[in-house]
Amino acid sequence: MSASIRLLIHGASGRMGQALLRLCAERDDCSIVGAVSRKVGQRVIDGIPQFASSELHGVPDFDVAVDFSLAEAFDPILALCVERGTALVSGTTGLDESQRAAIVRAADRIPVLWAANFSLGVAVLSELVERAAAALPGWDCDIVESHHSGKKDDPSGTALALGESAQQGGAQPRYASLRAGDIVGEHLVQFAGVGERVELIHRATSRDIFARGALHAAARLSGRPPGIYRLRDLL
Ligand SMILES: NC(=O)C1=CN([C@@H]2O[C@H](COP(=O)(O)OP(=O)(O)OC[C@H]3O[C@@H](n4cnc5c(N)ncnc54)[C@H](OP(=O)(O)O)[C@@H]3O)[C@@H](O)[C@H]2O)C=CC1
Ligand SMILES: O=C(O)C1=N[C@H](C(=O)O)C[C@H](O)C1
């Protein structure tokens, strides 16, 4: 039997962090050696040592950091992974160009997987969007994303990634964002022609789909050579 992969969860107190902690406890291929949040109350919760982001350099040895935090928290966790030579799986959205460039540089030294969306449904939607865009030249393409009122970035990372797929197919997408209630995440990609319209939509009703995808990716990324990995490389 292979050894359990040691995970560091970054953004542990958040909506995604809590889903990751809960779902990791159900797996026998990984264990959490540290949970990092901006603020820390109790030092150990359910046997997992808690660390404040100011204590990042004191976390124990780990194999993969799983980061679902905020853009302003991303640079330190990327730097820590490079310093320790460990893998990074990140779903943090709202990263700017310099942060994206830092990921590319880091990938010379460590394995990195960043994805705007870890669900299988969005992976399929992305392919459908590219095909629809290529098949419907000249049609208007609009991407409408809806999320809970606590979401900070817009357009969502998924909307921007779907926009890249639409562009690959030759469309010029426009974006609209809605923040309301507790919507987990909805993405509508609409192609409008004259007298007809095609709508492709993904509705997430549970964050577990993202957390499961990220844990699966972490288990598969551990021990790989440095480089940029895509979700589809690890499925
Ligand atoms: N790729 C994907 O599939 C998905 C991506 N996401 C993305 O994941 C990220 C997290 O989402 P969500 O869980 O809803 O967000 P939350 O706001 O619920 O959680 C954010 C977490 O980051 C921590 N944090 C905030 N600021 C800092 C900082 N400066 N340094 C260290 N830690 C910090 C928070 O700690 P504290 O509570 O102490 O402030 C908290 O643990 C977002 O970017 C979101 O877009 C979300 C779902 C799926
Ligand atoms: O913040 C969220 O909640 C989500 N963020 C990701 C994004 O920005 O696309 C993925 C998912 O839609 C949920």
Given a cut of 70, the residues of the chain with pLDDT beneath it are: 1-2
Flag whether the ipTM exceeds 0.95.
yes
Q: Do the domains 120-204 and 5-114+208-234 match in fold?
A: no
Please calculate the CA angle 110-101-6 and round it to the nearest 5 degrees: 30
Contact 149, 179 (CB under 8 A): yes
Left if phi > 0, otherwise alpha if psi is -120 to 50, otherwise beta: which for 11? left
Q: Quick one: which of 90, 69, 95 has its CA closest to 15?
A: 69
Domain positions in the chain: 5-114+208-234, 120-204
pLDDT value of position 2:
58
pLDDT value of position 48:
94
Check pocket membership of 147 for ligand 2, CB cut-off 6 A.
yes
Torsion sign over Cα 125, 127, 130, 133 = negative
Ligand 1 atom at minimum distance from 91 CA: 1
- Please tell me the CATH code under which domain 5-114+208-234 is placed: 3.40.50.720
**Residues lining ligand 1, Cβ inside 6 A:** 11-17, 37-39, 53, 68-70, 72-73, 91-94, 115-118, 150, 157, 210
| Whether pTM exceeds 0.90 | yes
Contact 204, 210 (CB under 8 A): yes
Beta-bridged to residue 145, according to DSSP, are: 177, 187
In this structure, which residue's CA is closest to atom 15 in ligand 1?
Answer: 14
**Superfamily designation of domain 120-204:** Dihydrodipicolinate Reductase; domain 2 (3.30.360.10)
Mutational test site, ligand 1, from 48, 54, 69, max ligand atoms within 8 Å of CB:
69
Ligand 2 mean position, distance from CA 206 (Å): 11
